[in-house]
Amino acid sequence: MRAVFVAAPGGPEKLEIRNVPDPRPARQHVVIDVHATALNRADLLQRRGLYPPPEGASEILGLECAGVVSELGPEVETLKVGDRVMALLAGGGYAERVVVHENLVMPVPDGLTFEEAAAIPEAFLTAHEALVTAAELAPGERVLIHAGASGVGSAAIQLSRELGAFVIATSRSAGKLTLLRELGVHHAVCTSQEDFVELVRTVSRGRGVDVLVDFVGAAYAERNQRCLAAGGRWIVVGLLGGARATIDLGALLSRRQTLRGIVMRTRSLPEKAAIVRAFRRDFLPWIAEGRLRPRIDVVLPFESVREGHERMEANLNLGKIVLKLR
């Protein structure tokens, strides 16, 4: 089969497609013939040599995919050959076939293309973990979502909206604010032109936001804390703006604030399986109903993987960049 490898740490030019042996399933694993996969920021970090795969995971890039089950391990009970599925992966998605545990696989709802389905697992499961599990977002609460035009950001906006929250979202690019409004935010902020702290204070009448979903990290840390309400929950999902920051622990204590980080890739199989099970039970029906929909920026042929990485690295994407294999 064909798969994408990183020849050496560096830029998109280091990506190359090689022929490698087909994977074989063991025990409770299945083989998926991949029809589409999607790019994530973690792929860019791995390509640069900054985010190695967890022990035992494939060195092939790709944290999610959609396709058709083609082979079953001897102990598989929940899937059959021919099922249309999407899957959360620790690696291996940029390939014509991938092997994955059956508990990390979800059915593709009727009416969704493989390209749409490939954009769901990493984005929506991460958004669900941040908003529902970590932040326990409640109807009527105020939420601030940074990088709202990203794959996970656009998923988080939709989940927040459907959960009944008042949603504020940011982007560094004024050209992306239209997308944020289309997704249903109450206020869209261009951080290169506006002070998001001041806007939050104005629209919340000085109370701040109850939940903050942070993809930026250090560059926004002090301002983020000033946005946070008493009892607010600040969930760090990414570190686009650096990893080391100064925060006011006195305010954290006196205002009963919570700072929490989440990561998906390095979680144990039982943890990931529980996340998949909860999302499948609570929110997969919303995707089937059309209440939630992955936002696709562009679908590229598999051979254009370098172009996809260049587009994401230049921060041009509005939603998910998808690679089509079949």
Supply the pLDDT for residue 293.
Answer: 94
Q: Distance between CA 131 and CA 155 in Å, rounded?
A: 11
Third-level CATH fold of 2-120+268-324: Quinone Oxidoreductase; Chain A, domain 1 (3.90.180)
Q: Indicate left, alpha or beta for 223 from its phi (over 0: left) and psi (-120 to 50: alpha).
A: alpha
Supply the pLDDT for residue 35.
Answer: 98
Supply the pLDDT for residue 159.
Answer: 97
Paired tokens of 119: 């954009």
What would the mean pLDDT of 8-14 be, rounded to a whole number? 97
Supply the pLDDT for residue 279.
Answer: 96
Q: Distance between CA 92 and CA 67 in Å, rounded?
A: 13
* Amino acid identity at 199: L
Q: Distance between CA 156 and CA 84 in Å, rounded?
A: 25
Residue-wise pLDDT for 274-302, tens only, equals 999 999 999 999 999 999 999 999 999 99
Supply the pLDDT for residue 155.
Answer: 97
Strands 166-171 and 142-145: parallel
Supply the pLDDT for residue 246.
Answer: 93
What would the mean pLDDT of 299-325 be, rounded to a whole number? 97
Q: Could you tell me the residue ranges of all domains in the chain?
A: 2-120+268-324, 124-261
Tell me if domain 2-120+268-324 and domain 124-261 are identical in fold. Answer: no
Of all residues in the chain, what percent carry a pLDDT higher than 70? 100
Q: How confident is the model at residue 231 (pLDDT cuts 50, 70, 90)?
A: very high
Could you tell me which of 78, 108, 21, 54 has the C-alpha nearest to residue 271? 54
* Amino acid identity at 275: I
Third-level CATH fold of 124-261: Rossmann fold (3.40.50)
Paired tokens of 133: 């599990």
